[in-house]
Structure 1
Amino acid sequence: MAPYESDDSATADAEELRAARRRKAARYVVPATVVGIAAATIGLVPALADSGDPDLPKISAQQLIEKIAASDVEQLSGTVKITTDLGLPDLGGLESSLGSAAGSSGSGDGSSADPTTKLTELASGTHTLRVAADGENKQKVSLLEDAAEYSLIHDGKDVWGYDSKSNSVFHSTASESDGKQKEELPATPKDLAEDALKAADKTTSVTVEGTAQVAGRDAYRLVIKPKDEGSTVGQITVAVDSKTGLPLKFTLTPASGGAAVVDAGFTQVTFAKPAASTFDFTPPKGAKVTEKDAAEAPDHSKDFKDSKDLGKGSTHERGTKGPGGSGGLDGLNVIGDGWDSVATFDTGGKGVPSGAEAGGDIGGFLDSLGDKVSGKFGTGTVFKTRLINALITDDGKVYVGAVTKDVLVKAANAG
């Protein structure tokens, strides 16, 4: 029995030795295998990336711009995702300090369904919009919110705004010859792209850089870059549908790098005629309806036109007046040209109060928000976002633009 037991023990020892060797080998083989797989994967990355880029005929930047201009898409429906990140600071505990004031400002005769109250919501965060269009006089934009929806409908002479959360309705009438209504939300990449292309001049580089697929459609990538070093804009990329010339996606990245400041694009789109019922609207039972004749509404289009003209010329006076023909941005000037242009106006009052003057949380917040600067103009405070910066001097003058702090100070010194 002893020899048998001895042999059994030797066999067990041999098996344990072989197992130990296998485990030791595994410690080297497994990492080597992983490295090999990783290397193979890295080698495949360019192929994988290229597989998503459609092979389209070559096109020049000028031809692509002409294609956008010639786009005659009048019927479409789809979903647009918009993400905006201006880098605005979190108000934090300051909200409680301003709570009563904010509450009172939200009350009054205004309607939560008024389109102008919804514009500010698109200035931050990520939002999903449903859009539909059937010619110049039928459009609909719906802003999807948590368990609620806001819709803006233009149907002939009627413009309806409906906020399901508050069950409130805003109604305006206008002549069909007015085309796009003053209350229209700038919802689509096409709206953003057209504004960007208006600024394309000798201060701008416009190129076609590759292709992309957006919402399942083949597109060219039009890249717009400022030549001016003082601009906070890094580049604007517009994905243009290769067949229709319609901009499908708009992305603005800052010169400072990081995430896009504005990223708006279709996630789904079709160019079929929307159902006529898409633009039908009847105020729900019990809804509060606010009537407003568009002919009586203040015309902000001149203000917006002036702002879009920034960068189109040299120093000159706009002479823009606020709504109603008085007040507002009276005597608006633009200093410089191209992407480095700065808008300036005089508030006629004092500048930003210091922390000591404002007191409490508000004063501390104001101090942390801005950078104190000085120059020939005197002293002031620069308030910064990832795109738009503003210098407010202590004597109430304002200099604002998509430019760096140094450019603002230089403009103030010259002004």
Structure 2
Amino acid sequence: MAPNDSAETNGGTRGTVAGRRKAARYIVPVAVAGVAAATIGLVPALASSGDPDLPKISAQELIEKIAASDTEQLSGTVKISTDLGIPSLGGLAGSFAPGGAGGDGGKGGSSADPQERMTELASGTHTLRIAADGPDKQRLSILDNASEYSLIHNGDQVWAYDSKSDQAYHATEKQAGEDAGRDAGKKSGHPVPEGVPTTPKALAEQVLKAAGPTTSVTVDGTAQVAGRDAYKLVVKPRQSGSTIGSVTVAVDAESGVPLKFTLLPAAGGKAVVDAGFTEVDFAKPDASLFTFTPPKGTEVTEADDAKAQHKADKGLGDLIPGADAAQLGAGEPGAKNTKVIGEGWSAIAEITTPGATGLPSKASGDVPAEAQQFLDALGDKVTGKFGSGTVFKTRLVNALMTDDGKVYVGAVTKDALVKAANSAS
């Protein structure tokens, strides 16, 4: 294996990359337990057939290679695993899962609704089959033992189909994207809900956007992933207090496409996020992959109907007042009732929930006993200058909800959250 430059970049990923940085997004713990947890796609380390001998490359050059990659056609299989350390939902699972008894009297929504199905990626190991042919054609399938769930985007049409239940979901691009102007110059109707990266490339882009003076970026040797030679780019926080130990991205030496993404926690142990190709092909996929006609007898749900159903549904968000609003507000740094404390990997979002109300409790009669048991298992009671509250924990994102209705959330330790709450008091 030839040596590689390990020159660090101290926020120096200039030019193309610097222009692509965006503010980090912060999400309350209930979102981590639901749709937002699926924002992290995930996989066990792939077997290596020997480290390839590649020309030396600096970290700066490798990042620029990723940014300059214009690969728009590919197909392959991605294996995804995640271990966020979220306690089991136990008896709540049936109440809040799609089609469960919660919220709508047991009617449930469509099992093909992407907003529901993508939560599967929040835990465990999954095999995905993906294909892309430019910005207007993508397909993603979650494979099960005897069934398959597929999302197909073709032009202005988005279809999702669950073969197990024989249910389908249909939307136009405008409906799927909610706001066609949200990302200038980009299509807004990608079949995967916004903020849910499902490929190593999407995961790597999120991390590199946050690279700055608080980040160390180095090249640490080579690897072979899915039969292709790759460089290993290692990204580490310089700051203390972050729950993230390091991120390693295996970058295809020829195309610059990230092939594998591994996020290790600062506390040690197995990867929180591990996603990588087991097979990949950069040839043009067959056009038939992007066409879909519901089989005869399939129950089809239109996007407008699904939106109405979501509004009627009750879930974990109803147990924590303002949780849904806090999630939406955290998506924009300048959103009302939201501000950011600190910067870089140790940045913390401070969110004031509507009505400034804290957690409901079983004593008040607002929470069922089994729901309270879940909340207690997920959180630790803490006190400080700010008063008292509960810290909700995962292996990656932690959040402090104070009894007076404020939320402090970030990829930081419990001590960092308490310190932030004290400083804001």
Query: What TM-score bracket applies, with the shorter chain setting the length?
Result: 0.7 to 0.9
Q: TM-score, normalised to structure 2's length?
A: 0.75
- Contact 1:206-1:223 within 8 A present in 2 as well: yes
Partner Cα separation in structure 2 for residue 193 and residue 337 of structure 1: 19
- Contact 2:252-2:258 within 8 A present in 1 as well: yes
User: Counterpart in 1 of 2:177?
Assistant: none
Partner Cα separation in structure 2 for residue 366 and residue 164 of structure 1: 34
- Contact 2:329-2:337 within 8 A present in 1 as well: no
Question: Structure 1's 167 and 75: CA in aligned 2 closer, same or farther, altered over 3 A?
Answer: same
Moved more, 346-355 or 50-59: 346-355
Partner Cα separation in structure 1 for residue 348 and residue 204 of structure 2: 21
Partner Cα separation in structure 2 for residue 231 and residue 120 of structure 1: 25
User: Counterpart in 1 of 2:229?
Assistant: 218
User: Counterpart in 1 of 2:10?
Assistant: none
User: Counterpart in 1 of 2:20?
Assistant: none
- Contact 1:355-1:366 within 8 A present in 2 as well: no
Q: Deviations over 1:189-210 (max 9, x none)?
A: 0000000000000000000001
Letter of the 2:131 counterpart: A
Shift in Å, 1:173: 1.2
1:141 is the counterpart of 2:140:
yes
SS of the residue aligned with 1:201?
coil
Letter of the 2:419 counterpart: K
Letter of the 1:141 counterpart: L
User: Counterpart in 2 of 1:59?
Assistant: 57
Letter of the 1:129 counterpart: L
- Contact 2:81-2:274 within 8 A present in 1 as well: yes
User: Counterpart in 1 of 2:289?
Assistant: 278
User: Counterpart in 1 of 2:405?
Assistant: 396
Shift in Å, 1:353: 3.9
The structure number with the bigger radius of gyration is 1
Moved more, 382-391 or 345-354: 345-354
State which of 388, 393, 402 in structure 2 corresponds to 1:379.
388
SS of the residue aligned with 1:103?
coil
State which of 277, 301, 323 in structure 2 corresponds to 1:290.
301
Report the aligned-residue RMSD: 3.0
Runs (5+) with no aligned partner, structure 2: 1-46, 175-179, 311-323
Q: Deviations over 1:268-318 (max 9, x none)?
A: 001111111111110110111122369x999x9xx78964x8xxxxxxx61
Higher normalized helix content (fraction of residues): 1
Partner Cα separation in structure 1 for residue 245 and residue 359 of structure 2: 29
Q: How does 1:87-126 map to 2 (within 5 A)?
A: 87-92=85-90, 102-105=100-103, 107-108=106-107, 110-126=109-125
Shift in Å, 1:359: 6.8
- Contact 1:390-1:399 within 8 A present in 2 as well: yes
User: Counterpart in 1 of 2:130?
Assistant: 131
1:179 is the counterpart of 2:195:
no
1:197 is the counterpart of 2:208:
yes
- Contact 2:152-2:191 within 8 A present in 1 as well: no
Partner Cα separation in structure 1 for residue 109 and residue 97 of structure 2: 19
State which of 342, 364, 372 in structure 2 corresponds to 1:336.
342
User: Counterpart in 1 of 2:257?
Assistant: 246
Q: TM-score, normalised to structure 1's length?
A: 0.76
Q: Deviations over 1:353-400 (max 9, x none)?
A: 456555744434433331111112110011111111010101121111
User: Counterpart in 1 of 2:415?
Assistant: 406
Question: Structure 1's 412 and 155: CA in aligned 2 closer, same or farther, altered over 3 A?
Answer: same
Question: Structure 1's 95 and 174: CA in aligned 2 closer, same or farther, altered over 3 A?
Answer: closer
Shift in Å, 1:91: 3.4
Shift in Å, 1:180: 4.9
Partner Cα separation in structure 2 for residue 209 and residue 225 of structure 1: 12
Letter of the 1:369 counterpart: L
Letter of the 1:345 counterpart: I
Q: Deviations over 1:155-178 (max 9, x none)?
A: 111111111111111111126975
Partner Cα separation in structure 1 for residue 96 and residue 278 of structure 2: 38
User: Counterpart in 2 of 1:352?
Assistant: 359
Shift in Å, 1:93: 5.4
- Contact 1:382-1:391 within 8 A present in 2 as well: yes
Partner Cα separation in structure 1 for residue 187 and residue 372 of structure 2: 46
Letter of the 1:351 counterpart: G
SS of the residue aligned with 2:303?
strand
User: Counterpart in 1 of 2:18?
Assistant: none
Letter of the 1:72 counterpart: D
- Contact 1:153-1:161 within 8 A present in 2 as well: yes
